[in-house]
Structure 1
Amino acid sequence: MSDRVKVAASTIWGILKDAGIETAPERTSSTWAAFLRSQAHAIIAADFFETTTLTGARLYVLAVIEHTTRRIRILGATAHPTAAWVTQTARNLVLGLEDAECQVKYLIRDRDGKYPALFDTILTDAGIGVILTGVRIPRMNAIMERWVRTCRRELLDQTLILNQRHLLHALREYENFYNEHRAHQGIANARPLALLPEPITDPNRLAHLNIHRRDRLGGILHEYEHAA
């Protein structure tokens, strides 16, 4: 008679789970997608992008997005992204995160030469690790890259930018619109800084909806809400 006892895979999984041991291959490796999902609440991502004015002047914009909430932060826009300017945006970012009590552990960015070493140092001193994406692998920063495309399509491609001051004004308006009014499919059609409204169940209200529209930037952006 054989002394062997057959044990189901689910039984082994349960024993390992009770012992706090992950099953292979998670014990030895983790994919980038798994890391982003598991740490989304603690991740922000940054990126530079550029636009041009009516006179052909080139302006650079630096923005940061929170992975979980999709909140966007426009850190600034300038014609000359010097080391001093970029470093100051890092200080402003850290202060803004502290004021919002946002617990961030990681910042994802590409290897753009406009980031000085002091940019990473300031974040590291604040307890935020900087993760560099691979060379020519924009998918590693997909959420930020997607926002840049959205900003271009919904704002910059629809606007004739006069100068740096005009660009900053337009970006601030879009930042408020994006964070407080625009629904996001990635977070169940919620808004980063505003709760979803209570659903309307009253048949009379459904039959006589009173919707108000507010235009921003001369009608480029539209905000809709139920009348009080």
Structure 2
Amino acid sequence: MSKIFHPLLALIASSTDRELAKYVEFLKHENRILRSRLPKQVHTTADERRTLLRYGKVIGRAIEELVSIVSPATFKRWIREEKSGRTKTKNSKGGRRKPRELRELVIEIALKTGFGYTRIIGELRKLGIKKISRQTVRNILKEEGIKPGPDRTSDSWSDFLKRHGETLWGCDFFSVKSVTTKGIRDLYVMVFLCLQTREAIVTESTEHPNSTWVCEQTQKFIEQSRGRDAKPTMIIHDRDGKYTKEFTKTLQQSGIQTNPLPKASPNLNGRCERFIETIKLECLAKFIIFGKQHLDHLVSGFTSYYNTCRSHTARDHLPPIRELPDEVVVLSRDEIQVVSHVGGLVKSFEQKAA
């Protein structure tokens, strides 16, 4: 009888071992995925180390392939320390978390100033706070996901745009094919765009975008924006050859600075580029342009619609030069009318005049 059951028991045991091996293999891959989502270094507590030792020592040398939360050498060091009775104790002078108020102060200084941890230490010293080290400040910043290095003080492009607000404008050119008596010609248009409000001012077109034409259109832009509260103070533009010294001088005479953008960086003037794409796709691409007057008429009509009627996500879905009414207005269908723009190409819904 024993000869019959012995192979059967061996088969059952081997089958169980194979199933366990599959379980272990799955858990190893799952643990590897989970570890990839965690920081490279995971700090364990004393209780956690004791738990790992209790279940890891009985595995033997196989622990070298299984352990992933620490290196095999660290795990062996834990075993040696346990056998010798020595445990790693923290320095009584350090290792304790700083008070919450101090941690919040460090984070506030970092976020509001952009300083690195060395300059944050200087701010704390001026406040009379001495019992905090550079490494502690660095650790606090890293725990909050704030880059501790001093290069955070470098200005970002988004911060630059926010700081200048409504007084910062972008400038760019675009061309359109036009059918004329002399054949197909390129007509050039100059665009000025407020980078915060998205208001657009578009010039008359020309076949010859020379320096004289650029200066004339720039002067018209200055005159058109002169009477407003937030007058332009800076114009950003690419390094197109049409931006001559006369162009810069024309702006400087009205107290407006120019800021040429780095080469091959169209994204820095992306909002102006986006307006050009909008007027081309939503308007000009739907017409055959017949000469300068036709193009100027279409551009003027669409620009007026864009500034007063076309909603923009950056403006909380309001047009560039329209503000939300102070009071919530409830209108009936009879009080709403459909207004056509650019010869009926685009439409908007407006409240009927009283």
TM-score normalised by length of structure 1: 0.85
The offset of 1:15, in angstroms, is 6.7
1:47 touches 1:62 (CA, 8 Å); kept in 2? yes
Structure 2: tracts of 5 or more residues without a match: 1-91, 117-149
2:253 corresponding residue in structure 1: 125
Distance 1:214 1:15, change over 3 A: closer
1:13 touches 1:23 (CA, 8 Å); kept in 2? no
1:23 corresponding residue in structure 2: 115
The offset of 1:87, in angstroms, is 1.1
1:116 corresponding residue in structure 2: 244
The offset of 1:2, in angstroms, is 4.4
The offset of 1:98, in angstroms, is 1.4
Number of residues of Structure 1 aligned to a counterpart in Structure 2:
222
Q: After superposition, where does 1:1-228 map in structure 2 within 5 Å?
A: 2=93, 6=98, 8-13=102-107, 22-24=114-116, 25=150, 28-54=153-179, 55-197=183-325, 199-201=328-330, 205=332, 208=333, 210-228=335-353
Distance 1:105 1:218, change over 3 A: closer
Q: Secondary structure at the match of 2:225?
A: helix
The offset of 1:188, in angstroms, is 0.5
Q: CA offsets per residue over residues 164-189 of structure 1, 9 Å max, x none?
A: 01111111111111111111111101
CA distance in 2, matches of 1:75, 1:85: 10
Q: Secondary structure at the match of 1:36?
A: helix
Distance 1:226 1:77, change over 3 A: same
CA distance in 2, matches of 1:84, 1:176: 26
Distance 1:14 1:74, change over 3 A: closer
CA distance in 1, matches of 2:266, 2:216: 25
Distance 1:114 1:21, change over 3 A: closer
Distance 1:130 1:4, change over 3 A: same
Higher strand share: 1
TM-score normalised by length of structure 2: 0.57
Distance 1:227 1:21, change over 3 A: closer
RMSD: 2.5
CA distance in 2, matches of 1:35, 1:214: 38
Structure 1: tracts of 5 or more residues without a match: none
2:338 touches 2:347 (CA, 8 Å); kept in 1? yes
CA distance in 1, matches of 2:285, 2:247: 30
1:173 touches 1:216 (CA, 8 Å); kept in 2? yes
> Which structure would you say has the larger RCO, counting Cα contacts within 8 Å and 6 or more residues apart?
1
Identity %, equivalent residues? 26
Distance 1:3 1:48, change over 3 A: closer
CA distance in 1, matches of 2:113, 2:349: 50
The offset of 1:35, in angstroms, is 1.0
